[in-house]
Amino acid sequence: MSRRNTARLFEQRKGHLEYRIKRDYVRNGIATIPCHVSDYSDVINPYSVKDYETLNADFYDYLKESAEVTPSECPLVLNLIGDCLSQEEKKTIEEIIRDDFAYDLGIVEMEDRRHARIFWFMVIGLILSGTVLWFTKSLTEVPRELLFIPFWFMGETLCDYIFLTGAELRRERRLAGRLASIKVIFSECYEAPNYTESEVDKLYSEIEEGMNETILEEK
């Protein structure tokens, strides 16, 4: 029997991410996340009290992980499937999902502003240290090497922000914005979504309306 290079076979194996996303989530530019619930506590943390509810941790993780694999330009729709929820519970679930992810968005925005301040501080510091290096060309090698330390540190920090940290923050902010704008629908059984153009337009209008309401509340 010939010797098989199984490691190479596994390395050459191709995934089907795009096919799976289109099959399971995306229809007509809208990403729908189906979620079966058998009890109110599947969504709302059973330890939270009335008027101070929070999301169940497992549900929160499922929703966020599912949203992460969908295209970043697609609005999100959450389809909660089950006949166990009262109208009051449905209303509470919609509010808590919106509020919890809006809170997460606020945390990401705060982190983004902090990194933006660091970015501009590093830009100014890099310019100043570069200027100092230019005007100290006549110094001996040892003292001038000490001046290179802050210059390279600030340059490295800037590169990290531009190509790594900054890109990750933008991805997290986009995801948090999508989750904070998620539309929640309820159904008794699962049916594959098939959005019409008018339904897509309506969803975008609702997202824009929600964003405008948030801006007015901040003012």
The per-residue pLDDT for range 44-86, each reduced to its tens digit, is 999 999 989 999 999 999 999 999 989 888 999 999 999 999 9
Number of domains in the chain: 1
d(CA 61, CA 87): 25
User: Does some domain include residue 10?
Assistant: no
| pLDDT score recorded for residue 1 | 43
Does any domain span residue 16?
no
Q: Is residue 2 part of a domain?
A: no
Q: Judge whether 37 lies within some domain.
A: yes
pLDDT of residue 140: 61
Burial annotation 110-126 (CB, 10 A radius, 16+ → b, else e): eeeeeeeeebeebeebb
Quote the domain boundaries for residue 90. Answer: 28-218
161 inside domain = yes
Q: Which residues of the chain have pLDDT under 50?
A: 1, 216
Please tell me the distance from the alpha carbon of residue 28 to that of residue 182, in angstroms, as a whole number.
16
Q: Is residue 157 part of a domain?
A: yes
Nearby residues of 67 by Cβ (< 8 Å), 6 or more positions away: 31, 33, 76, 175, 178, 179, 182
d(CA 100, CA 74): 20
Tens of pLDDT along 96-107?
999 999 999 999
User: Is the pTM for the entire model greater than 0.85?
Assistant: no
14 inside domain: no
Confirm whether 18 is domain-assigned: no
